[in-house]
């Protein structure tokens, strides 16, 4: 029997290790429009509306490494094309260096990095009935983004993030794609939505284009980063209730995967060492 994760599962907060908390807070507030929800000497919580989307932990001596598994980017999903236009204007107004932009058919996206090199995507979704399919399968593309057309929408401001902004997905470097597919699809229960050649694939809950992207672009067999390195500590997957979380925990234990926690909340690492925390979504 095919396993399926809760169809309304979604990404919660992304937890990152950074080297300078003050610098990172200033960047996320001024360049991206995040609201600072709370901070102490070494940790800060940022988000949009009332929800924490990003948790930053400072380690001044944290190494920054390349060629390892870990974060490729985390993706900030804004609720409308006008909001994406406002985000682009804000990046221009703050002289933010962009790494790229693309129209993926399912979405339009902007790419950049924070001061520590953590990858960031800001994107807006098209309606599901506009998503491209080929042979009955989702077919995300990567064609140039029309900046002029995008900037023509909205109110002309670079205002902060809308309250409805969420983390739409995370994209990870993994060591071996087959191992990652077995873990995310067969054990966690995400649905395979699309393969990108032999180097990447995209999985989701509930028919979304992807909640998790997986690639071997850091190299097949790439090792995990050293403990405490700059980058991803873990990301959160939220499900609707404990009844939908118990089967996930049971499949993991049945496969001999070590989980830290209980059936109401636990942390697990994928075969490449990327850490995921599962928890029940807070009631609104």
Q: Whose structure tokens read 């339009």?
A: 108
Rounded to an integer, what distance in angstroms lies between the CA atom of residue 39 and that of residue 57? 10
In order along the chain (284 residues), what is the average pLDDT of each group of 10 residues?
Answer: 89 98 98 96 95 97 96 98 95 96 98 98 97 93 95 80 96 98 97 95 98 98 96 98 94 95 94 97 74
Distances (CA, A) of 18 to 21, 217, 235: 7, 22, 15
Closest CA to 195 of 179, 207, 210, 183: 210
Confidence at residue 74, expressed as pLDDT on a 0 to 100 scale = 98
Confidence at residue 1, expressed as pLDDT on a 0 to 100 scale = 58
- Are the C-beta atoms of residues 160 and 204 closer than 8 Å to each other? no
pTM > 0.85 = yes
In Å, the largest CA–CA distance within the chain is 54
Backbone angles phi, psi at 195, to 5 degrees: -105, 145
- Are the C-beta atoms of residues 215 and 199 closer than 8 Å to each other? yes
Three-state secondary structure call for residue 76: strand
Confidence at residue 172, expressed as pLDDT on a 0 to 100 scale = 98
- Are the C-beta atoms of residues 204 and 193 closer than 8 Å to each other? yes
Q: Write down the CATH number for the domain with range 10-280.
A: 3.10.180.10
CB atoms within 10 A of CB 112: 19
Rounded to an integer, what distance in angstroms lies between the CA atom of residue 187 and that of residue 189? 6
Q: Whose structure tokens read 């309250």?
A: 163
* Segments making up each domain of the chain, as ranges: 10-280
């Amino acid at each position: 029997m095919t396993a399926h994760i809760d169809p309304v599962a979604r990404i919660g907060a992304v937890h990152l290790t950074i080297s300078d908390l003050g610098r990172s807070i200033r960047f996320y507030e001024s360049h991206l429009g995040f609201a600072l929800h709370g901070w102490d000497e070494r940790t800060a919580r940022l988000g949009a509306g009332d929800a924490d989307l990003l948790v930053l932990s400072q380690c001044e001596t944290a190494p920054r490494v390349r060629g390892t598994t870990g974060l490729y980017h985390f993706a900030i999903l804004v609720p409308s094309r006008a909001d994406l236009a406002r985000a682009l204007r804000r990046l221009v107004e703050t002289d933010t260096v962009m790494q790229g932009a693309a129209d993926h058919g399912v979405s339009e996206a902007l790419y950049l990095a924070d001061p520590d090199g953590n990858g960031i995507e800001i994107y807006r979704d098209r309606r599901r009935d506009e998503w491209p399919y080929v042979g009955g399968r989702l077919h995300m593309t990567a064609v140039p983004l029309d900046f002029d057309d995008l900037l023509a929408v909205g109110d002309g401001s670079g205002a902060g993030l809308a309250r409805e902004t969420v983390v739409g997905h995370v994209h990870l470097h993994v060591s071996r794609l087959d191992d990652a597919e077995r873990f995310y699809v067969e054990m966690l229960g995400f649905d395979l939505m699309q393969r990108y050649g032999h180097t990447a694939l995209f999985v989701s809950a509930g028919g979304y284009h992807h909640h998790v992207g997986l690639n071997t672009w850091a190299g097949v067999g790439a090792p995990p980063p050293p403990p405490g390195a700059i980058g991803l500590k873990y990301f959160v997957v939220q499900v609707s209730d404990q009844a939908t979380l118990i089967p996930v925990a049971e499949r993991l234990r049945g496969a001999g995967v070590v989980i830290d926690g209980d059936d109401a909340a636990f942390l697990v690492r994928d075969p490449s060492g990327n850490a995921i925390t599962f928890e029940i979504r807070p009631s609104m």
